[in-house]
């Protein structure tokens, strides 16, 4: 349990912006390396990849020490230089994907998930990343890190690719709170707009509320009430409320923030993932379908590969917990090393740059107002 | 208001299967040609395209007679042979996209939408197609055609493309009933499985309930209760209940029928549409990005075009109303001629082949049981 970072204590919101100089961010990222659908070896490989890209960051891996040491040994990306910055901390317990949040809370002590979160709670780590059970992670994060003052329900925000290169739409909630009232939805609008501003430099974020039509009378009554609350808050909170949007608007860059409840957001996200996989599948078949298509595919290979990379759901993998006191990123459950590295990159961005603390301050201000 | 089909009366469920011989289906399709986001000229062009593919079918177009005559004159596909099978019937009123269903009902008389539905109600037309206001169309269809005995709420079913060529997953509801209780969801499972069986020859349809995780405790409590009801009904109704599925499972051919409420289904559908458009957009940019990519794109042009066609959301355009006494198909609001022709083809399939009547009988049997 001892390691090079023992005794280092940080403010709860991680390092300040001033900690980052030309050598890249410094600090520690806590990783729950067990309990996901993904093999721990894949996660450890993801850590090694992320470590290569951030040469001054350190990583604490929580899980079965024996298995993790083996995985680190075997990781293709883990050069000695990388391995020196990765520390394994034994946490034999595991929250499984099937555990109910209530069960996970009861049995949390000694699990890799709880240990990773505690490492953030103590101020040692700047952020925690897990690809385990979402509901359990949210419940444990809320319990061990605490909620931001004034926030009724934390939310999970993801970045959704758009037609504008390099620009993503923030979508929240995508799975924390499956049933929201109008007040919860309005808080999501606040948190999302603060995230767009502080995290992505959007001066006056455009916020839309996901519905099944843009007409004011459409959809569920809770959405009409939420729309009124959001419209009323927009002016004082410095964002623009554009009204109801539909799910096909999300990638069209008509909003910076799309607000919805955790059930609907999760379904939308999975529907988009499924469609991307369907098209990728058809594409592969198509380019094998005839000699001409094969040749064409070969010539366009690099371009298509670049496109695939720019559209890669793994590159935008990671849901940021908003409304919790500390940086926590949920990675996709059945993730590969590239995807897990992306989630670690997001955690670095949110945690190490102090964004998490700034978000907490701003959210507290707005929800108190 | 007179025409070649005046005086022809049909059973409410349209023509019987025996009416179809080698010359293709015969009968009349009623078309609401006004009130959509799409230009009536586009819709009329779609009718002309559909008429070319079904040389013995006739079409009654409802709307402003002057504008429709002009549109028919201008339609690129409307050869004299086609035009002879298209009859314009003056209905000056229009249900607008912004009308609430209750307002649409009050002001329905004389609208192109109500007139098209009445043409089915009288037994003259085998099916009605509209790309107008969904809520109004469902309300008017329920009122003028009647609900199938035992059905609490009719639903809209769409066909979702899958990784298996030519195979689609039936998804319902996608917008009729935004808030469903467990009983409504279980009725959707029954109606969807009957549609899969009678419409697509699936002997023992696999039915899944859309949720945000496959674990039994996940999601909304109404889904747990609905799951129990569906599981109990599956055996007696001859389908297989596979349990909870996620939206990314829909295109993966793990079910034949995906059941959800109208709000969630509509969001999922729009999220898929938006993703397909996003990828198409990136693809176009990619294949223009470099000379090599352009050449590759040119060589693979036909294959990519075929793929685009096989994935074209327009080709699966059309939501079938289940639980209503008569064949009604809702086309996408902002549709083009190809998409509208696809909706007319679906209406032909459901209406003219007598499927609608068979569905009504079977649904009545099951819901009475």
Confidence band of B329 (pLDDT split at 50, 70, 90)? very high
pLDDT for position B353: 67
More confident site: B360 or A138: A138
Least confident span in A46-60, B207-221, B338-352: B207-221
Phi, psi (deg, nearest 5) at residue A75: -65, 125
On chain A, the residues whose CB falls within 8 A of the CB of B276 are 275, 279
Radius of gyration of chain A (CA): 21
* Interface check A267 vs B, CB under 8 A: yes
CB-CB: which of A272, A278, A292 is closest to B271?
Answer: A272
Nearest Cα of chain A lies from the Cα of B188 at a distance, in angstroms, of 18
Q: Do B247 and A262 touch (CB under 8 A)?
A: no
Nearest Cα of chain B lies from the Cα of A154 at a distance, in angstroms, of 17
Q: Is the pLDDT of residue A98 over 60?
A: yes
Question: Does residue A365 come out as left (phi exceeding 0), alpha (psi in the -120 to 50 range) or beta?
Answer: alpha
Number of C-beta neighbours around residue A30 at 10 A: 31
More confident site: B309 or B321: B321
Are A233 and B212 within 8 A, CB to CB? no
**Residue B278 and residue A253: Cα distance in Å, rounded?**
11
Q: Do A215 and B277 touch (CB under 8 A)?
A: no
- Helix-helix angle B291-299:B301-311, to 10 degrees: 70
Q: Do A178 and B220 touch (CB under 8 A)?
A: yes
CB-CB: which of B135, B219, B297 is closest to A263?
Answer: B219
Nearest Cα of chain A lies from the Cα of B330 at a distance, in angstroms, of 15
* pLDDT, mean of residues B310-325: 81
Question: Does residue A123 come out as left (phi exceeding 0), alpha (psi in the -120 to 50 range) or beta?
Answer: left
CB-CB: which of A249, A267, A287 is closest to B268?
Answer: A267
Closest CA to A30 of A155, A188, A140, A159: A140
More confident site: A94 or A357: A94
Confidence band of A23 (pLDDT split at 50, 70, 90)? low
Which of helix, strand or coil describes residue B173?
Answer: coil
> Which of B168, B212, B316 to mutate against chain A (most A CBs within 10 Å)?
B212
CA angle A45, A51, A52 (to 5 degrees): 95
Q: DSSP state, A332?
A: P
* pLDDT, mean of residues B4-14: 32
CA angle A232, A233, A236 (to 5 degrees): 110
pLDDT for position B4: 33
Least confident span in A41-55, A350-364, B341-355: A350-364
Closest CA to A36 of A243, A340, A249, A307: A340
Confidence band of B216 (pLDDT split at 50, 70, 90)? low
On chain A, the residues whose CB falls within 8 A of the CB of B300 are 286-287, 292-293, 295-297, 300
Burial of B6 (0-12, 13-18, 19+ CB in 10 A): exposed
pLDDT for position B367: 66
The model's pTM: 0.87
- Taking one residue from A and the other from B, the number of pairs with CB-CB distance under 8 angstroms is 204
* Interface check A204 vs B, CB under 8 A: no
* Interface check A193 vs B, CB under 8 A: no
On chain B, the residues whose CB falls within 8 A of the CB of A95 are none
Average pLDDT, chain B: 85
Task: Please name the residue of chain B whose CA is at the shortest distance from the CA of residue A276.
Answer: B275
On chain A, the residues whose CB falls within 8 A of the CB of B260 are 267
Confidence band of B5 (pLDDT split at 50, 70, 90)? very low
State pLDDT tens for residues B89-129: 999 999 988 888 889 999 999 999 999 999 999 999 999 99
Which of helix, strand or coil describes residue A21?
Answer: strand
Q: Do B296 and A292 touch (CB under 8 A)?
A: no
Q: Is the pLDDT of residue A53 over 60?
A: yes
Q: DSSP state, A111?
A: B
Interface confidence, given as ipTM, is: 0.86
Confidence band of B311 (pLDDT split at 50, 70, 90)? low
Which of helix, strand or coil describes residue B27?
Answer: strand
**Residue A220 and residue A243: Cα distance in Å, rounded?**
14
Residue-wise burial string across A138-153, b where 16 or more C-beta atoms lie within 10 A, e elsewhere: bbbbbbbbebbeebeb
* Interface check A217 vs B, CB under 8 A: yes
Q: B340 to each of B34, B38, B222, B319, how far by Cα in Å? A: 13, 10, 36, 12
Number of C-beta neighbours around residue A286 at 10 A: 24
**Residue A251 and residue B353: Cα distance in Å, rounded?**
39
pLDDT for position B279: 85
Q: How far is CA B306 from the centre of its chain?
A: 23
Nearest Cα of chain A lies from the Cα of B214 at a distance, in angstroms, of 9
State pLDDT tens for residues B48-85: 999 998 989 999 999 999 999 999 998 888 888 888 99
pLDDT for position B23: 65
Confidence band of B16 (pLDDT split at 50, 70, 90)? very low
Q: Is the pLDDT of residue B135 over 50?
A: yes
Structure tokens at B106: 């009050």
State pLDDT tens for residues A179-223: 899 999 999 999 999 999 988 899 999 999 999 976 666 668 899
**Residue A71 and residue A337: Cα distance in Å, rounded?**
12
Structure tokens at A172: 């929240």
* Interface check A84 vs B, CB under 8 A: no
**Residue A335 and residue A40: Cα distance in Å, rounded?**
11
Which of helix, strand or coil describes residue A244?
Answer: strand
Are B145 and B152 within 8 A, CB to CB? no
Which uninterrupted H or E stretch holds B3? none
Structure tokens at A130: 């897990």
Average pLDDT, chain A: 86
* Interface check A175 vs B, CB under 8 A: yes
pLDDT for position A242: 97
* pLDDT, mean of residues A276-305: 79
> Which of A221, A245, A267, A319 to mutate against chain B (most B CBs within 10 Å)?
A267
Q: Do A300 and B292 touch (CB under 8 A)?
A: yes
CB-CB: which of A248, A306, A311 is closest to B270?
Answer: A248
Q: Do B278 and A210 touch (CB under 8 A)?
A: no
> Which of B296, B297, B313, B332 to mutate against chain A (most A CBs within 10 Å)?
B296
pLDDT for position A11: 32
pLDDT for position A285: 80
DSSP B66-132: HHHHHHHHH-TT--HHHHTTEEEEE--B---TT--HHHHHHT-TTBHHHHHHHHHHTTS-SEEEE-S
Q: Do A247 and B267 touch (CB under 8 A)?
A: yes
Number of C-beta neighbours around residue B338 at 10 A: 17
């Amino acid at each position: 349990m001892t390691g090079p970072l023992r005794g280092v204590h940080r403010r709860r919101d991680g390092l300040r912006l001033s900690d980052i100089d030309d050598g890249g961010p410094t600090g520690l990222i806590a990783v729950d390396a067990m309990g996901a659908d993904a093999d721990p070896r894949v996660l450890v490989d993801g850590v090694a990849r992320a470590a290569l890209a951030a040469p001054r960051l350190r990583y604490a891996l929580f899980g079965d020490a024996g298995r993790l040491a083996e995985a680190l040994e075997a990781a293709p990306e883990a050069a000695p230089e990388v391995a020196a910055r990765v520390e394994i901390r034994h946490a034999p317990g595991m929250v499984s994907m099937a555990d109910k949040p209530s069960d996970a809370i009861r049995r949390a002590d000694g699990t890799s998930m709880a240990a990773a979160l505690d490492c953030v709670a103590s101020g040692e780590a700047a952020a925690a990343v897990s690809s385990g059970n979402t509901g359990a992670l949210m419940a444990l994060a809320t319990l061990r890190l605490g909620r931001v003052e004034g926030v009724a329900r934390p939310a999970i925000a993801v970045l959704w690719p758009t037609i504008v290169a390099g620009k993503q739409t923030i979508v929240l909630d995508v799975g924390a709170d499956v049933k929201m009232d109008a007040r919860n939805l309005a808080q999501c609008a606040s948190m999302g707009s603060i995230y767009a501003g502080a995290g992505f430099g959007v001066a006056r974020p455009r916020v839309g509320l996901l519905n099944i039509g843009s007409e004011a009378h459409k959809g569920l009554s809770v959405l009409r009430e939420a729309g009124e609350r959001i419209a009323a808050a927009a002016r004082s909170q410095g964002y623009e409320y554009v009204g109801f949007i539909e799910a096909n608007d999300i990638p069209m860059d008509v909003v910076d923030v799309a607000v919805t409840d955790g059930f609907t957001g999760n379904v939308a996200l999975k529907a988009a993932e499924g469609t991307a996989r369907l098209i990728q599948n058809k594409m592969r078949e198509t380019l094998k379908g005839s000699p001409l298509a094969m040749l064409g595919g070969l010539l366009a290979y690099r371009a298509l590969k670049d496109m695939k990379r720019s559209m890669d759901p793994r590159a935008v993998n990671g849901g940021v917990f908003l409304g919790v006191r500390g940086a926590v990123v949920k990675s996709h459950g059945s993730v590969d090393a590239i995807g897990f590295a992306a989630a670690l990159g997001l955690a670095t961005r949110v945690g190490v740059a102090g964004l998490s603390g700034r978000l907490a301050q701003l959210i507290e201000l707005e929800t108190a107002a």
